[in-house]
A and B are shown apart, each in its own frame.
Chain A
């Protein structure tokens, strides 16, 4: 027997649609969430400890003032200090392991931009922007954490606040970051 109720008015149909939409939305939210959690790092590097010891950011990330990329410290750079230390924990023993084997430490940078964004540290540093403006307060982090909401609006917002209207012509130009 054929039911006279149209398909979209049936309870079962509506429940099915609702579940599908929920699952889709849940998947999307989950996906977005997964991109926001920090990746697994080879060493639980305590930024807070190193900053607390008085290490300047540029000591390890040397390229900021002179080039596009801040750069990751080489294994030798770590070893420069760590060879004078006795390992107190597993992470410090890992440093010894990498340095003695002559291996590079497989860091996973978290402050990254998509491929179509060309970011250059140098002009930002020369304009007096501090590291923490974009990278957050490293004195409270162990491994670096990705900062939330760093989208194009965020970039432009800062560009506008920090510049005169004439400068903003250049700082809002697409080719400043996209080419």
Chain B
């Protein structure tokens, strides 16, 4: 699935040096995207629905022990392993935003895509998770509520991208850098997450992505992921 260079190529940089691992992005994502909570048992079965998770790996031995925190979300690969395996083209590449889309109304729940995702970034609706009234009142009207049997994942808050584009075009201009911010980056207390258009070399995200500390997860797989991490913490300067 080769990509044509368009005007938009959304990407993200996560600076692990200032990411504290506080989980605000996880909650923000969940509240923005109508992600259902599944309860203790389902969490214990590994069926949590968070589109984002903070991977925590312990490094070292007591007392020189510290966790490495790394936010993990859909990497919106340019060359995505999830796309070719979908029998119904529910997992497709978007020509416009250059991200991976999950088309809920096409998805039939084969879960091939999740099996093929090297980042474990996809979550599956094993059940219909009802929100008791009046809790359904806070659901975001811009995001579909998914039903049982549907695969879902981080969308880079595509509803905000579309809204940003429509707002910009309504006033006859291009989307400005920093105009579209996904919920995680908006919440991040330390501004560790930067989001923007990678096709614009002057955008803030492009500039930061050129840092010497930049790396991408599982780069050797050649998935051309759109999320760049900046080394941090104990690796700083190395």
Contacts and interface: CB of A to CB of B under 8 A. Distances in A.
A–B direct contact (CB < 8 Å): yes
B105 A120 contact: no
A123 interface: yes
B211 interface: no
B126 interface: no
Given A122-B170, A176-B162, A169 B95 contact: yes
Contacts of B169: 123, 126
A170 to B, nearest CB: 5
B101 A116 contact: no
Contacts of B158: 175, 179
B223 interface: no
B94 A174 contact: yes
Contacts of B142: 118, 179
Given A169-B6, A173-B96, A179 B170 contact: no
A40 interface: no
Given A174-B103, A175-B101, A118 B159 contact: yes
Nearest to B144: A116
A176 B96 contact: yes
Interface residues of B, number: 23
Contacts of B97: 173, 175
A115 interface: yes
A115 B145 CA distance: 8
Contacts of A172: 95
Given A114-B105, A118-B159, A123-B169, A179 B95 contact: no
A179 B104 CA distance: 8
Contacts of B101: 174-175, 178-179
Interface string B82-98: 00000000001011110
A114 B6 CA distance: 30
Interface of B: 6, 92, 94-97, 99, 101, 103-105, 142-145, 155, 158-159, 161-162, 166, 169-170
15 contacts: A114-B105, A116-B104, A118-B142, A118-B162, A122-B166, A123-B169, A123-B170, A170-B95, A173-B96, A175-B155, A175-B161, A176-B162, A178-B101, A178-B144, A179-B162
